[in-house]
Structure 1
Amino acid sequence: MRIINLMVKEIKSYCRDKQMFLFYLALPIGLMFILGTALSGAFAKDVSINDVNILYKSKGDSEFTESFKSFIKKMEKESDLSFKEAKGTLEGKEAIRKGEYTAYIELHSKEVKIYKNSTTSVEQSVVQAIMQNFVDRYNAVYEIAKINPKGIEEATTASNSDYMKERALNSPNKPNAMDYYAVVMTTMTAFFSLFHSFQLLRGETVLHTSDRLLSSPISKFEIFVGKVLGILVVNMMFLLAVILFSKYVFKANWGDHLFLIFLLLATEVFLAVSLGICISYIAKTPQTTSVISVVFVQLANFFGGAYFPFTAEEGTFLHLIVNLSPLHWANEGILDVIYTGSFDTAFSVLFSNIGIALLFILITTFALRRREGL
């Protein structure tokens, strides 16, 4: 009961602080609106391309040609691509020189040659990707058919979906600017808990209330737990307000598993609070604590993608730095839940946050026991 009373006291004191409302509500919502609006073009999903007209000529075997014709019939049904068979090699190359077609394709025995129109680079990339996809599919189905009793003739028809099943691990659904900044501003706000946590116990000493608190019938452990629970509840209240505001006012996409996302954010707040308290006990002065906290939070924000999506080549030192950012973990876990429906990363981040936070709590508890006061 004493822990609950102390927790309620902390919640009331924080709720009376107007600066906290500005810091935890106005700041993330304002940044979310500014960045989500200003950088909307950088997250555009659609790329406008001109008509893609492709001329082709078969010089290969019948199986390869028939497979290609089945393939282009399906492509013409599902896209705006247009295919036409050329009467001769000279006609095809001449048409490309005149710019009448996007590309001219020659089909040889299990080989494709592409002659491109140099004035349509985007469309050429589309053609290249399509033909690479076709050749890869054909080669794969051909190898499968070698050991399949149904034979290669059936395997190379349009019904090869019976042999090959596709599943996108990287979902085609991607966040737009507002969706992205709704997530990263929320995780950034959660990590801002670190700033207030290092005053959680030291603040009692500054206000000269620590002696009176210690003389009351309550242990140091109960004081510590009550204060930590108080700041956790307050921060989660602010985060819930930010999430609901972004979801219903900015129409940001938070997916269908909001409870898991909220739980992950709670562990991030727990990690930030534990780290902040630990830093305050390790550092010698309040000034040192402030400097360490500000530098660490800003670096975590930058490399975690709070201001713009930050990527680094795998295996590099920069990639290692990015993976050390708690915000990178949280953002990756939340975005995976929303856009791929995968919970693996989220649960991994959730348990990692709890484990690291408990380590910081143990360090702080050991330091607290060695001190006479708070």
Structure 2
Amino acid sequence: MKMLSITINTIKLTFKNKTVFFMQILFPIVLIFVFGIILNGTMNKSKNFKDVKIGYYSAENKDMNNEFNEIKRQGIKLGMKFYEEKKESGIKKVEDGKYTCFIEIKNSEINMYKSDKDEFKTSLVESLMKTFIQRYNAIFKIASVNPKALGNINLKSINMSLVNDISINGKGAPGSMDYYAVTMLTYIMMFSLLNGFTTMSKRKQITNRIICSPVRNSDVICGKILGDIVFSAMQILILILFSKFVFKAYFGEHILAVFLIVLAEAAVAISIGISIGLMDKNYDEINTQFVAVSMVIGFLGGSYFPVKYMGKTFQMVANISPIKLINDAVFNVIYENNFVMAFRAIGICSVVCIMFIIITSIFYERRVF
């Protein structure tokens, strides 16, 4: 109960702080809008598909060629270009970077040879071909074992699934508004550190009254962390919903997972901020230093520009940025439905957060308040 009272009190005090409300809710909305509009043309050029060139070789197979022609029509509508080639020359052009990929259509299977030079373009073609390849490989395996079973398979239904895949593939990579809705959200969550710092450093009179009561250090610390986390959860929810419904930013089909990843980031920042706040440091000094550090971390983490466009050396250096881990995890969930990095990010954040809570509870006596 005591910890809950401290949590509620912390939430109330945070909402009363107009500066916090402006900087952490209104300011990121402005940033998303400004970056999204200004860099719209630059980032969305990658979504017009005009640089995607596909080589293919098709053996004589009427049913398969009819379906592949449907694939070609849909790809051409998106701006892709298809070139019929022999296998050897087609693969050579993939190796030379002239083709994004080469597709070989045989009587019993479909093979796709892709280039690693441009992962984005390759992912577009993979998304386009995925349903087609998997379904037809399965059909030919069935035919080799039990040809009569093919009568139960509706081949015409493939067209609809292909159209759906193409539609989804329109979000195969984020547009500027999609991108900055995520990166500005994760960037501003770093500033939750200042919330944690303020909770302990600027409200000492309130904290001292708590200390005078029979309350354990751990209850005080955990109560304040929970209070700031609840505020951050509200903040994240507001920013996601505003970006989604006002800016039409894309957050995929797993918004809850996105929410939890960013909340885990906020929890770490808060726990670190509370630890710093207990050291009785000057707020203005900490604020100045943190803003400088956060700009570097944000830059390396891709908050301002996508890291994948910055060269291999920069990409290697960028791995030191914790915000890159969060951004990568979020984008993997949104655009690839891949939760591996999400679990990793949440796990690391949870461990770091618990570690700071334990260290702070053990090593700081009540007199520091």
TM-score normalised over the length of structure 1 = 0.68
1:6 aligned partner:
6
1:192 aligned partner:
191
Q: 1:106 to 1:129 in 2, by over 3 A?
A: closer
1:373 aligned partner:
368
C-alpha distance after superposition, 1:108-150 (max 9, x if no partner) = xx64399x9xxxxxxx9999427x6146x77x9799xxxxxxx
CA contact (8 A) 1:3 1:225 kept: yes
- Unpaired runs of 5+ in structure 2? 75-80, 112-135, 142-164
CA contact (8 A) 2:225 2:274 kept: no
Write the letter of the residue equivalent to 1:361: I
CA contact (8 A) 1:103 1:127 kept: no
1:143-162 alignment, distance < 5 Å: 162=140
Q: Would you say 1:360 and 2:356 are equivalent positions?
A: yes
Write the letter of the residue equivalent to 2:349: N
Q: 1:29 to 1:126 in 2, by over 3 A?
A: farther
1:156-175 alignment, distance < 5 Å: 162=140, 172=169, 173-175=172-174
C-alpha distance after superposition, 1:287-342 (max 9, x if no partner) = 6533442233222211111111123666x5x4444223222111111111111111
RMSD of aligned Cα (Å) = 4.1
TM-score normalised over the length of structure 2 = 0.69
Q: State the distance in 2 between where 1:176 and 1:125 align.
A: 29
Q: State the distance in 2 between where 1:264 and 1:12 align.
A: 25
* Identity rate, percent: 28
Q: 1:277 to 1:251 in 2, by over 3 A?
A: same
Residue 198 of structure 2 aligns to a residue whose secondary structure is: coil
CA-CA distance at 1:286 after TM superposition: 4.6
CA-CA distance at 1:17 after TM superposition: 1.4
How many residues are aligned here? 306
Q: Would you say 1:112 and 2:82 are equivalent positions?
A: no
1:21 aligned partner:
21
CA contact (8 A) 1:304 1:310 kept: yes
1:1-374 alignment, distance < 5 Å: 1-44=1-44, 45-48=47-50, 67=59, 77-79=70-72, 111-112=88-89, 128-129=98-99, 133-134=102-103, 162=140, 172=169, 173-205=172-204, 208-281=205-278, 286=283, 289-311=286-308, 316=313, 318-369=314-365, 372-374=367-369
CA contact (8 A) 2:332 2:339 kept: yes
C-alpha distance after superposition, 1:180-222 (max 9, x if no partner) = 11111111122210122122212234xx444433212322222
CA-CA distance at 1:178 after TM superposition: 1.0
Q: State the distance in 2 between where 1:41 and 1:306 align.
A: 18
C-alpha distance after superposition, 1:14-61 (max 9, x if no partner) = 111111111111111111111111111122201448xx9x9xxxxxxx
Q: 1:6 to 1:77 in 2, by over 3 A?
A: closer
Name the structure where helix makes up a greater proportion of residues: 2
